[in-house]
Amino acid sequence: MTHASHPRTPLVLRDALLAQRAELLARMAYERGGVVGRAQVAAEHYDAAASDNAQLRTERETQYAMNEHETAELADIERALEHMNQGDYGHCIDCEINIPMARLLATPTALRCVACQSVHESQQPHF
C-alpha cells in the first residue's frame, strides 16, 4: 500500500472516479454491442414494414448523442484523475480556491467551484 497521493485528495474520491470510469467504459462497451443488435432488429422490422424509417433514425440520433455525452463524461473523469496525479486536484481551475469537499464528494469530476461552473456553463452552447 502506497501513500503517494496528495494529502488533499482523499482516496475515496480517487476510488469514486476509478469506479465511475470502469462503470462508464463497461456501459459504453455494452451499448456498442447493443447498437448492432438493435440495427439488426430494425433491419428485420424494415423488411416487414417497408415504410417507417423514422423510428430507426431517432434511435441512431439518440445513440449518437449518448455516445458524445459519455465521451465527454469520460474526458472529465480522466482530467480529474490527471489533476490528482499532479497534486492540484480540488482547486478551482478558474479562480483557484479550494472546492468544498461536499461538492467534490457529490461530483468528483468537478474542476471548478460552483460560481465558476455556472459562469462556464452559461458560456457553453446547449445541446
Footprint of Zn ion (CB under 5 A)? 92, 94-95, 113, 116
Nearer to Zn ion, 84 or 92 (CB): 92
Local structure of residue 64 (DSSP, 8 states): H
Shortest separation between residue 99's beta carbon and Zn ion, angstroms: 8
Three cell numbers, residue 53: 424509417
Nearer to Zn ion, 77 or 116 (CB): 116
What whole-number distance in Å separates Cα of residue 44 and Cα of residue 82? Answer: 45
Shortest separation between residue 13's beta carbon and Zn ion, angstroms: 18
Shortest separation between residue 89's beta carbon and Zn ion, angstroms: 14
- Say how many CA atoms lie within 13 Å of 16 toward its Cβ: 14
- Say how many CA atoms lie within 13 Å of 50 toward its Cβ: 0
Task: Please provide residue 101's backbone torsions phi and psi, each rounded to the nearest 5 degrees.
Answer: -60, -35
Q: Look up cell 468528483; give the residue.
A: 108
Shortest separation between residue 125's beta carbon and Zn ion, angstroms: 21
Nearer to Zn ion, 95 or 101 (CB): 95
Nearer to Zn ion, 110 or 116 (CB): 116
